[in-house]
Copies of this chain bind each other. A is one copy, B any other.
Amino acid sequence: MKRRQFLKLAGAGGGAAAGAVAFAAPAIAQAEPAVRWRLASSAPKSLATVLGAAEYVARRVADATDQKFQIKAFAADEIVPQFKVLDAVQHGEVELGQSFSYYFIGKDPTLAFDAALPWGLNTRQQVAWITRGGGLELLREVFRDYNIYNIPAGNTGAQMGGWFRKEVRSLDELKGLKFRIGGWAGTVLSRIGVVPQQIPIPGIVPALASGAIDAAEWVGPYDDEKLGFNTAAKYYYYPGWWEGSTQFSVYVNLDRWRTLPKSYQAILELACAEAYSWSLAKYDVDNPAAMNRLLAGGTLLRSFGDDILQASFNAAFELYAETAAKNARFSKLYESWKSFREDSRLWLKVVEQSYDNFAYPRAVPKPKS
C-alpha cells in the first residue's frame, strides 16, 4: 500500500474518531469481552411488538458494544416453553428471558406488580412508581429469590376489554358468560359472576366463533386483528380494566449478570429503557391504524357500564386486601404501590386529565378561509 493511500484510509476510519477527542486522555487498550447470550421470550411471533422489543434490545446492545455483546431472541416455545421462561432463566438454561410477570403469580402473586393488576396503575404511573417511587427496588428483592435481575423493558399501554358475541348492557348480563381470560383478571371476573375459561392461543378464535365461549380478550386492535377476533365476534369492549398498563420485563440470570462487565450491565439496562418507550410508541401508532381498519370492517365499539366497572373495582381491591393479609411480601409491595397510587391519581387528575378531557374530544379546527 502506498503511503498516501494509507493516510487516506486512516483518516476515513479510526483517525476521524481520534480527531473528535477534544480533551483526549491517552487511550488505554482494554478489550471488552465478546458475549453471546440467548433470550427466551414468552411472546409468540404474533405479538410482534413484544417480541420486537426483545429484538430491539438485542440490536441496541450490539450497537453500543461495537457488536461484541450479542443477544439472540427466541419466540415462545422455540427454545423454552412460553410459561417456563422464568424457570429457564432462574436455572441458567438461558441467560435472558422476556415475559409478562403475571404469568407466574402461581409462584407468588407479588410478581403481578411487575406486569399488571386489575384496576392497577396506568402506564404513566407504572413507570413513575418503578423508576422513582421505589417499585423497582422492591421488585428486585422479589426476583432475587428466583436468581433473576429484572429490567422493565416494555409496555403495551392500556388494553382493550375484549370481544363479545352479544352486547353486555349491565352487570346482570355479564353474569354467567364464558369469558376466555386468565390470571387475576379471571379471579376478579369470577367474583362478579363471570365464568373464566383458559384456552391456548390457537383455540381462542375458533371457540369464540362456534359459541363455545361468549367472549375473549387478548391485547388490543393491532394484536387482536392478526388473530382474527373480529371474524368471530362483533362487539369490542373497553376499557380493559384488568390491564390498564401491562409491563413486560427482561429477566437476567443473576449469576450471569454478576459476571458482566459494569459497562455491559449499564448498556443492557439502557437498551431496555429505550425499548420500553419504543414498544409503547409502536403500540400507540399501530393500534389506532388497526382500530380504524376494524371499525371500517364492521366491528362495533362498546364501553362497559359503570356498574360493571364499580363491581370489578371493589372485587379487585378485596382480592388484594385478602392476599396482603396472608402474604407479607405482597403486603410490602402493596403498601408502597397503594400509597404511590393515592398521591399520583390526585395529581394526574388535576394536571393531565383536565388537559386530556378538553383536548381528546376536539379535532383541530378547520382554518378560516
Contact = CB atoms under 8 A, between A and B. Distances in A.
| A contacts with B: majority SS | helix
A263 interface: yes
Contact of A354 (B31, B220, B303): B303
A331 to B, nearest CB: 12
Interface string A247-270: 000000000101111110011011
Given A24-B34, A220-B351, A338-B364, A131 B278 contact: yes
A271 interface: yes
Given A64-B270, A352-B157, A27 B32 contact: yes
B244 A359 contact: yes
A20 B33 contact: yes
Interface string A133-177: 100000000000000000000000111100000000000000000
Interface in A340-369: 340-365, 367-368
Given A23-B36, A158-B355, A16 B258 contact: yes
Interface in A1-55: 16-37
Interface residues of A, number: 116
B356 A353 contact: yes
Given A157-B352, A289-B343, A291-B347, A125 B31 contact: no
A60 interface: yes
Interface of A: 16-37, 60, 63-66, 68, 95, 119, 122-125, 127-128, 130-133, 157-160, 220, 238-241, 244, 256, 258-263, 266-267, 269-271, 273-274, 276-278, 280-282, 284-289, 291-292, 301, 303, 306, 309, 313-314, 317-318, 321, 338, 340-365, 367-368
27 contacts: A17-B259, A21-B33, A32-B66, A60-B266, A64-B267, A64-B270, A122-B355, A124-B124, A124-B280, A125-B284, A127-B280, A128-B285, A131-B282, A132-B282, A132-B286, A157-B352, A160-B351, A239-B352, A273-B273, A288-B347, A313-B365, A338-B364, A342-B364, A345-B359, A345-B362, A348-B356, A357-B357
